[in-house]
Amino acid sequence: MTNGKLAPNLPQWMLDHANRYLSSGGTDGHMYHMTQPGRPEMHVQSLLLTTTGRQSGEKYIFPLFYGQDGGICFVIASKGGAPQHPGWYRNILANAEVDVQVGTKKFRASARTAAGDERTRLWAKGLIVWPPFADYQLKTARQIPVVVLDPIG
């Protein structure tokens, strides 16, 4: 596993969450607890995804909510419904080899964008993990990618 630094320009809540995750070695931070206005308290599982910067070549860590399908993790490149893809997704398009930390477990993976029936199935599972993904999709004309993290080795 490679070391990285927290991605630049993360919002404060993500920085706080990632720092708690990293400082505890994953014993704290795997489950993210939050309350959004008008919604009940939510408990969402999160992982740390380390990508290689497509321009800098540096390793960057991103805390992301994730789902599982048959033991494989997947993440959704929503960026809150922004018109452009998140930086981590653009990084994996340039270099699909990533590091993943789920709780205290760390592994290397190859990231790929799900398509067709697989994307449809995983998107539905992602909406169970984090229902606001549906709202994010309504805010943007781009199809929000679903990214499968296939373990290497």
Q: What is the pLDDT along the chain (153 residues), one digit of tens a residue?
A: 558 999 988 888 889 989 999 999 999 988 888 776 676 777 899 999 999 999 999 999 999 999 999 989 999 999 999 999 999 999 999 999 999 999 999 999 999 999 999 999 999 999 999 999 999 999 999 999 999 999 997
- Tell me how many domains the chain contains: 1
pLDDT of residue 36: 64
pLDDT of residue 2: 59
Are 7 and 112 within 8 A, CB to CB? no
pTM of the model: 0.93
CATH, residue 25 = 2.30.110.10
Residue 98's domain comprises 5-151
pLDDT of residue 59: 97
Q: Tokens at residue 68, please?
A: 């599982």
Beta strand extents in 54-145 (DSSP E only) = 59-69, 72-76, 97-102, 105-113
**What is the rounded distance in angstroms from the CA atom of residue 6 to the CA atom of residue 16?**
11
Amino acid at 110: S
